[in-house]
Amino acid sequence: MKKKLSAVPKALPRIARFERLGFGLFLHWGLYSHLGQGEWIQHFKKIPVRRYAGLAKKFDAAEFDARAIARLAKEAGMRYVTLTTRHHDGFSLYDTRGLSDFDAPHSSAGRDLVAEFVEGCRSEGITPFFYHTTLDWRWDSAQCDTKTFHDYLDYLRASVEILCRHYGKIGGLWFDGNWSRPGADWKEDHLYATIRKYQPGAMIINNTGLDARGRVGHPELDSTTFEQGLPTAPDHRGLPKYLAGEMCETMNGHWGIGSDDFRFKGPAEVIERLCSCRKVGANYLLNVGPTASGKIPDYEASVLRLAGRWIRATGSVIYDARPISARCSGRDFLLKGRDAYYYFAFDLARRGDAHVVVSGGGNGPRAIEGFPSRIRNARWKDSGADILFTQSKDNSLLALQCDGYDYGEDLVVRVAELIPEK
């Protein structure tokens, strides 16, 4: 029978697992962290390769505690961590096993930091992912001649094979840099076949960059990417393969630590961004740049913990519930869980005396058009308090009385659980 073009393909098991992870921590950490000016500082300041390589003598990773980082991610409600095993400067946090001496075991750290990372994640029930650059400044991979580029691609594939063979089962590999040499033959078939050989259940993601958010790439890829921009709702109809979506963005303006970057996201923005990703079924990969010695800075750690408190107040909704077609007020949206629907209410105001509460906000009835079934109960996930509601005879129009927060509370986004009739 001929497949209808409008059919939605079923998600492969690895992609379905990835979508349920929901929220992840991105870590950009390497030699550049010693300069405290972001991960592109070598390129922007035109630091010679030999002089830059001298930073390896300072790179002792004295405060890198992989299990503590994984524990923080867990407190934040994150289910996976993606680490820069090698960034564009070409320095590897793993033992390259003779491919190069520009790696962590040959630095002052004197140890395989990816091995520690994987062990720390598994100890806390966190899924490890590996970021790996495809752009390499030591090879001048963006501009080198064709023969050198092909030699580089062999080196890249051998490097990825090491990651696939020596660290046990991983959640996936996250590549970045193909945009640096547009139109080139990156030998993706060969690279991805290596991953499938040793890590058949791993996600393969290749970042399309700032100018191509959401673009579909090689057939073997499992997710589209949205760098520093909110994801759009996907249209899976007629595609040969169901693809996940993931937005990655920074806590401030840099991926690697920026010592003089004060433009940080607060917990409210992180919560809103997470919700906006889940509205369209995408994961949220939030980056932190550890210090030169490998510690998560205090501010970022505090923000992550506050986000985790919000997630715990909503239960497992952000992981398991999926998008549903319904028209809601403003930024609000609806998700469908196994036994209930979940309404995400933005911009509610606090209630209280006019002398202490600033007026504004959207308290009052919120309408949902196109609701799929009749409900028998509505309640707030955080408190269990009942919500007044009214519903049209044909069930399609539902109005919730959203009265906002008591003084002393503000959840930023409040989640209502809507229980359907049996």
Q: Is residue 1 in a domain?
A: no
Q: What percent of the chain has pLDDT over 90?
A: 89
Predicted local distance difference test score (pLDDT) of residue 353? 53
Contact 387, 319 (CB under 8 A): no
Alpha-carbon distance of 384 to 390, in angstroms, equals: 19
Q: Region of 293 please: left (phi>0), alpha (psi -120 to 50) or beta.
A: alpha
> Which alpha helices (H) appear in 205-279, and where do they start and end?
267-279
| Cα within 13 Å of Cα(147), Cβ side | 0
Q: Which of these three, 280, 305, 320, is where a domain ends?
A: 320
Task: List the Cα angle 323/235/246 in 5-degree steps.
Answer: 65
Task: Read off the pLDDT of residues 128-155 as tens digits, 9 standing for 90 and up.
Answer: 999 999 999 999 999 999 999 999 999 9
The yes-or-no verdict on residue 239 having pLDDT over 70 is yes
What are the structure tokens assigned to 411, written together? 């959840």
- Residue 352 DSSP code: S
Task: Read off the pLDDT of residues 88-140 as tens digits, 9 standing for 90 and up.
Answer: 999 999 999 999 999 999 999 999 999 999 999 999 999 999 999 999 999 99
Three-state DSSP class for residue 165: helix
What are the structure tokens assigned to 340, written together? 């209930």
Q: What pTM does this model have?
A: 0.95
- Residue 142 DSSP code: T
Which residue in 266, 232, 236, 284 sits closest to 24, CA to CA? 284
- What's the average model confidence in pLDDT over 286-312? 98
Quickly tell me which residue has 């107040």 as its tokens: 313
Asked whether residue 348 falls in the same domain as residue 277, the answer is: no
Three-state DSSP class for residue 280: coil
Could you give phi then psi for residue 248, rounded to 5 degrees? -115, 135
Asked whether residue 57 falls in the same domain as residue 126, the answer is: yes
Give the mean pLDDT of the chain: 95
What are the structure tokens assigned to 303, written together? 């923000």
Predicted local distance difference test score (pLDDT) of residue 352? 61
Predicted local distance difference test score (pLDDT) of residue 357? 44
Asked whether residue 261 falls in the same domain as residue 346, the answer is: no
Asked whether residue 55 falls in the same domain as residue 118, the answer is: yes
- Residue 155 DSSP code: H
The yes-or-no verdict on residue 360 having pLDDT over 50 is no
Residue 347: give the domain boundaries: 322-420
Task: Read off the pLDDT of residues 313-333 as tens digits, 9 standing for 90 and up.
Answer: 998 899 999 999 999 999 999
Q: Which of these three, 320, 341, 371, is where a domain ends?
A: 320
- In sequence order, which residues have a C-beta less than 8 Å from that of residue 189 and are 6 or more positions away? 220
Asked whether residue 273 falls in the same domain as residue 193, the answer is: yes
Q: Which of these three, 276, 304, 320, is where a domain ends?
A: 320
Domain count across the chain: 2
Asked whether residue 80 falls in the same domain as residue 223, the answer is: yes
Q: Ranked by mean pLDDT, which of 123-132, 207-216, 324-333, 350-359 comes out on top?
A: 123-132
- Residue 57 DSSP code: G
Asked whether residue 299 falls in the same domain as residue 351, the answer is: no
Three-state DSSP class for residue 163: helix
Alpha-carbon distance of 223 to 206, in angstroms, equals: 8
For residue 377, what are the CA distances in angstroms to 35, 277, 327, 366? 56, 27, 20, 16
Asked whether residue 303 falls in the same domain as residue 272, the answer is: yes
Q: Is residue 8 in a domain?
A: no
Pairing of strands 364-369, 397-402: antiparallel
Task: Read off the pLDDT of residues 48-73 as tens digits, 9 standing for 90 and up.
Answer: 999 999 999 999 999 999 999 999 99
